[in-house]
Amino acid sequence: MAPSSALLLPLRLPALALAALLLCCAGCTSADSPPASLIAVAARDVEGGIVSEGDALYLPNVTACRDACASAPGCNLWIYCAAADGCMGSPGDYQRDLRKYRQCWLKYDKPTNRSAWPRSKGTKDQYTGWISGTTAAGVRDGSLPDVGYTRCYCSSSYIQNGYKFKGVCAKSSSGYGVSCYLEGSCNNPPQNGEDWCPSVQQCTTILDTDLDGKVLNDGDNTYVNSPEECCGRCTQTEWCNAWTWCSDPNGCNGGELFRFRQCWLKNADPTNPQPKGGYGNSTGWISGLRMAWMPKD
Ligand SMILES: *[C@@H]1O[C@H](CO)[C@@H](O)[C@H](O)[C@H]1NC(C)=O
Ligand SMILES: *[C@@H]1O[C@H](CO)[C@@H](O)[C@H](O)[C@H]1NC(C)=O
Ligand SMILES: *[C@@H]1O[C@H](CO)[C@@H](O)[C@H](O)[C@H]1NC(C)=O
C-alpha cells in the first residue's frame, strides 16, 4: 500500500485539457486509446430529440443500446439505464424509477461547439442512473468540468508519491468528504487551496473493458447497483482513480453469475490505461477512469 501519511489531493481536469492530453497519446508511447465506440459517461442523461422511446425499447445490455443507435437512422446519442435500482424519470426527481432499468433511449442532437455538447439533462450532482454515449465522430466533451462549492475549477494534474491523478476529486486529506486541488487561476481560492467536489461524479466509462490496476478493495464483497455508484466509491477511496463494475446479470468473466454488480476499485495510470485482454474484450465489465469525457476520433 501507499504510505498513508501522504496527503492525497487529486484533481479535476478541464475537458479540453484532457482532450489535448489524450490526443497526444496517438504520438506517444502509451497504450492505444480506447476505441471511441466503447466510451460513455456514467451519471449522465443527455438531451436531444427523441429518435426512439426508451419506454418501448428494453435491451439486455449497454452495448446493445449503443449498437441500436448506430443502426437507427438519425440517432447520434444513446442513453441506457444500467442501474439495477432504476433511473431518474426526469430532472429534479428524487427517486429512481425501477421501470427504467434496461431502457434504451435513442436521440439526436446537433453537435455544436457554441455550447456544451452533448448537453446534459438534470443537474450535475444528481444520481441519475443513466449512462450516455454518442456515435457522432470527433466529439470533445463540451460540458464544463465539475466545480466545487466556491465555483473554482480543480486543477488538471497531480502526482503524489508516484501515483498519477488526472481530473479527479478524491477523498479529502482532512478525512471529510471529497475534495480537490484548485487551479491557480481561481479568483478567490480558499486558503488551503482545496475545494469540495460535487457528490456525484460524471465518470468516463469504457464498455466491455476490465482496466488493470492495483486493487484497493475486496471487490468480491463489494456490490453496488450502478456504474456511477462504483465511480462514487472510487471517489471516496484513497488512491483510487479507476474502477471496474460488472454490468451483466448473466455474470462477468465468462458467465460467473456472482460477479453481477461487483465493484472493483483500483489505482492505475489514468493517462495510460492498460485493459486486461484488450479494449472491448471483457464482456459485461464496465471500467471507469476518474476523468471527464474522452475525445472521439
Ligand atoms: C447484449 O445484447 C445483445 C443483443 O441482445 C446480445 O447479442 C449480446 O450477447 C449481449 N451481450 C451480453 C454481454 O450479454
Ligand atoms: C468551432 O470550432 C472550430 C475549431 O476549433 C472553430 O474553427 C469554429 O470557429 C468553431 N465554431 C463555432 C461556431 O464556434
Ligand atoms: C481481443 O479479442 C479478439 C477476438 O477474440 C482477439 O483477436 C484479440 O487478440 C483480443 N485482444 C487482446 C489484447 O487479447
What pTM was estimated for this model as a whole?
Answer: 0.80
149 with 180, same domain: the answer is: yes
Query: Is the residue at 2 inside a domain?
Result: no
Distance CA(154)–CA(74), nearest Å, equals 36
Give me the residue label for grid cell 457554441: 114
Here the CATH number for the domain that contains residue 52 is: 3.50.4.10
Least confident among 116-125, 174-183, 217-226, 246-255 = 174-183
Is the Cβ atom of 61 under 6 angstroms away from ligand 1? yes
Query: Domain tally for the chain?
Result: 2
Query: Is the residue at 18 inside a domain?
Result: no
Distance CA(151)–CA(34), nearest Å, equals 31
Residue ending a domain, choose from 79, 114, 134: 134
Q: Where does the pLDDT of residue 62 fall: very low under 50, low under 70, confident under 90, or very high at 90 and above?
A: very high
150 with 81, same domain: the answer is: no
Q: Is 67 helix (H, G, I), strand (E, B) or coil?
A: helix
Query: Is the residue at 185 inside a domain?
Result: yes
Q: Is the pLDDT of residue 11 over 90?
A: no
Task: Write down the mean pLDDT value for the chain.
Answer: 77
pLDDT digits (tens, 9 = 90+) for 77-105: 999 999 999 999 876 778 889 999 999 99
Q: Where does the pLDDT of residue 204 fall: very low under 50, low under 70, confident under 90, or very high at 90 and above?
A: confident
105 with 175, same domain: the answer is: no
Is the Cβ atom of 115 under 6 angstroms away from ligand 2? no
Task: Give me the domain span that covers residue 47.
Answer: 40-134
CA 211 to chain centre: 13
Is the Cβ atom of 284 under 6 angstroms away from ligand 1? yes
Contact 242, 267 (CB under 8 A): yes
Contact 269, 211 (CB under 8 A): no
Contact 236, 178 (CB under 8 A): yes
Distance CA(265)–CA(6), nearest Å, equals 19
**What separation in Å is there between the alpha carbon of 282 and the centre of ligand 3?**
10
117 with 206, same domain: the answer is: no
pLDDT digits (tens, 9 = 90+) for 234-279: 888 878 889 999 999 999 999 999 999 999 999 888 777 899 999 9
Q: Which residues contact 178 (CB under 8 A, 6 or more apart)?
A: 169, 170, 171, 172, 196, 197, 199, 235, 236
Query: Is the residue at 1 inside a domain?
Result: no
As a whole number, mean pLDDT of residues 17-27 equals: 37
Residue ending a domain, choose from 83, 115, 134: 134
